[in-house]
Structure 1
């Protein structure tokens, strides 16, 4: 179950604060299917003037998981960053489905966080499920209910 998380040297423009106790996981898509962890980091600095990549973790189409901010407060879900882990998948899931490799990696990393931080499956949410969010993120084709069912199924196998 435990997947390797790739760590690359991303330079942040300010000191980041540790996440105290994550209470939920927020799933995102990049919308631009060509983004990588590095290009997202650069985009978030240049366009949004953030400290760096806003997501805590990033899953490329190959299923490779990269650390973004890691377990430091992200910039991915307004008013929810201090108590959530933001995971972005490269792709536009309004138009395409995530790759099987991405889903497998997402399940694995979510289960790891759910077990380590006692996060219930219902607290694994799509960005669009946050009150006030008008985006489709993580995309119209990404079925959050089915994803949560998959997490429950896998959790039952572990226990």
Structure 2
């Protein structure tokens, strides 16, 4: 029996009680893409739950760009293939495979997961791996889904753990390069060096550790700007206006700052007209806006 691949359990909150599947009744393993270029498992879970009104994510399992396998509904009835949800397992893959390429890491993870599932389900074999479009009127899982490679890998027993390690300048499968390509960003060394600076990684040389750190930070979201959470105060020799909404209009002036006075917490920086303002919070948690010009304020 194929060894169970590593999976992540996120303890997703579902609405209502899920219905346990009868493993002997399962006849197909249905492969899907979400048809969205960036959404991860939490985005899909929230959309299926709050947008579609379902119990939660419809897929039984989910595979991210980097090959990480997540448990969705597991061996409970899914909501992924109309008319077949009680006799199939649905596997969702991050990405839009009419617009993007399926990553090598996803292929490896898909082979490992489907092979393991076949070992758990007595009436399923490699020929029962199908795309959503084989059972319904849809283009899912997209023209770039690597179905033949997936089936061949499962049939030949070519099962290996998805490579989630990141190499150096010649990074390999499941790497920062794979990830950047999958989301349509420039993956060249010069581009990665720029991203590294934005995410606070100094002296980027493309080492394995630096690439792993960059991949982790980019998957977490936008970089935290250096001014977030810091104090901003007026250095203007006079009264500096602050506002109760992002505006330069007199009618939205909330008050004035004397030199040396300010706000303890910068929340964000926003563009207002041709300039920028800091979105700030005072000690009571009230939100205001003040110029971000270095001519008038300092950040500490």
CA shift for structure 1 position 30: 0.9
Structure 2 match to 1:145: 148
CA shift for structure 1 position 134: 2.2
Task: Assess, with a 3 A threshold, how the Cα gap between structure 1 residues 146 and 104 changes in structure 2: closer, same or farther.
Answer: closer
Structure 1 match to 2:70: 66
Structure 1 match to 2:132: 127
- Detail structure 1 runs of 4+ shifted over 4 Å in the superposition: none
What's the Cα RMSD here?
Answer: 1.5
Matches within 5 A, 1:86-97: 86-97=90-101
Q: Distance in 1 between matches of 2:147 and 2:103?
A: 15
CA shift for structure 1 position 83: 1.3
Deviation digits for residues 120-144 of structure 1, max 9, x if unmatched? 11111000011xx222111012243
Is the Cα–Cα contact under 8 Å of residues 29 and 90 in structure 1 kept in the other structure?
yes
Q: Does 1 or 2 have the higher relative contact order (CA < 8 Å, sep 6+)?
A: 1
Is the Cα–Cα contact under 8 Å of residues 64 and 105 in structure 1 kept in the other structure?
yes
- Are residues 1:82 and 2:86 paired? yes
Q: Distance in 2 between matches of 1:30 and 1:14?
A: 23
Q: Distance in 2 between matches of 1:35 and 1:124?
A: 24
Q: Distance in 1 between matches of 2:146 and 2:107?
A: 12
Q: Distance in 1 between matches of 2:109 and 2:158?
A: 15
Structure 2 match to 1:104: 108
Q: Distance in 2 between matches of 1:116 and 1:50?
A: 27
2:22 match: secondary structure: coil
The alignment's TM-score, normalised by the length of structure 2, stands at 0.49
Q: 1:7 aligns with which of 6, 9, 12?
A: 9
Q: Distance in 1 between matches of 2:158 and 2:81?
A: 26
Structure 1 match to 2:288: none
The count of residues paired between Structure 1 and Structure 2 equals: 154
Q: 1:35 aligns with which of 39, 42, 45?
A: 39
Is the Cα–Cα contact under 8 Å of residues 55 and 87 in structure 1 kept in the other structure?
yes
- Are residues 1:20 and 2:25 paired? no
Q: Which protein is richer in strand relative to its size? A: 2
Q: Which runs of 5+ in 2 are unaligned?
A: 160-300
Q: Which runs of 5+ in 1 are unaligned?
A: none
Q: Bigger radius of gyration, 1 or 2?
A: 2
CA shift for structure 1 position 154: 1.8
